[in-house]
Amino acid sequence: MTIELPADTGAKPDGWDDKRQSAGGAAAWAIGFWIWPDKAEQTMTVNHDAVWAALKTVQDPEIFKDIVSLNMVKDAAISGGQVTVSVELTTPACPMRDRIRQDVTAAVSGVPGVTEVKVSFSANVRGVDQAKNLLPGVRNVIAVGAGKGGVGKSTMAVSIAAGLSMQGAKVGLLDGDVYGPSIPTMTGLGTQSPALRGEQIVPFRVGPAANPLRVMSIGFIVPKEKALIWRGPMVHGVIRQFLEQVLWEELDYLVVDLPPGTGDVSLTLAQSIGLTGAVIVATPQEVALMDARRAVRMFQQLGVSILGVVENMSAFICEHGTQYDIFGRGGARTMAAEMGLPFLGDVPIDMSIRKQSDAGDPFANLAGDSPVARSLTSIVQNLAGQISIRNLTRPAGKAIKLDITA
């Protein structure tokens, strides 16, 4: 899906020098007054090749390749001295948009004859070719895992899905936490049964009609009392069948909330779908981190990239502003550094997260400008950046075949 992003506001990037423009004009006028009007300066045609050569000097700040070779420049329209550059980002949640705007403006404004540079953005999420996998039409599958329960894995899975969707991407959220599905509560869906279209299960839609978040939980299909099937030899077949039957249609991102730990269901999900990668959620204390490291190793053994680590419940700030590091602070960041993994960000303990999750509005924690909304949005953007890096720098992930026997 190509997403048109909001038009250029005309805001000048940091370091942009208006005076340079008007001073240049004034200088030309002053010289022209005494000599002959510097027509060459005023009517100079901007050279198309020079503009593209300038664009080729601009690097994607995360991938370290030039934006022309990365096929991100879709157009450079010249009209008199004005150049409008159309840049296609690899995700609407791109954390580097302002930096790219600034670098493009700086590079192109150095081309002779250019008096104004405008940069417009669109986004086209690239992804793993799922055609041979279970989920055709789904470009990226992101598993959210944790070493143990109760660390906020489902909360992060919901927030990541809602956050990507709020940035304009087409997103699905799959609750694979069969032992304790919390997505139906956190999305306000409760215990409804999904509709069927032919043999296929239609995901629920929550949020704005124009770009809803599609939601499905294995818990909707298999009642709790049948939880036994999640152990032993049947698990592999049941999960594959379920995955094949959900009608996701076209998605930029499918976020999968895995069960905690490294059990059969996590393994089957990880090996059945061609995962783009996994996010590991951990709280900062050592006992949680030990399990988180185990989860990281499980994914790595399956050949699944770790897209990053999130530290949840990082600190509690009371109403008087005092910070209490209830579970410690920074442990997950240190773990990520030690294991050579990207650190996506931390989220404080905040009562509003618990309340809004219980209330079933997946978008509420990201709305507004609270510290929680800011940290979640930053995590979403950092993750989107990591996914783009992975897709542009590595070969497509493949589903790994491992047969699980009881």
Per CB under 6 A, residues contacting ligand ADP are: 146, 149-155, 182, 260, 312-313, 347, 349-350, 353-354, 357
Q: Which is nearer to ligand ADP, 164 or 347 (CB)?
A: 347
For the bound state, the minimum distance from the C-beta of residue 379 to ligand ADP, rounded and expressed in Å, comes to 11
The residues, any chain, with a CB within 8 Å of residue 369's CB and separated by 6 or more, are none
Q: Which is nearer to ligand ADP, 127 or 147 (CB)?
A: 147
Give the type of residue at 119: V
For the bound state, the minimum distance from the C-beta of residue 378 to ligand ADP, rounded and expressed in Å, comes to 14
For the bound state, the minimum distance from the C-beta of residue 78 to ligand ADP, rounded and expressed in Å, comes to 50
Q: What is the Cα Rg of the chain in Å?
A: 25
For the bound state, the minimum distance from the C-beta of residue 126 to ligand ADP, rounded and expressed in Å, comes to 29
Q: Which is nearer to ligand ADP, 315 or 399 (CB)?
A: 315
Sign of the alpha-carbon torsion through 290, 292, 293, 299: positive
Give the type of residue at 328: G
Please provide residue 396's backbone torsions phi and psi, each rounded to the nearest 5 degrees.
Answer: -55, 140
Q: Which is nearer to ligand ADP, 312 or 391 (CB)?
A: 312
For the bound state, the minimum distance from the C-beta of residue 279 to ligand ADP, rounded and expressed in Å, comes to 12
Q: Which is nearer to ligand ADP, 62 or 291 (CB)?
A: 291
For the bound state, the minimum distance from the C-beta of residue 227 to ligand ADP, rounded and expressed in Å, comes to 16
Torsion of CA 383, 393, 270, 296, to 10 degrees: -70
Q: Which is nearer to ligand ADP, 65 or 294 (CB)?
A: 294
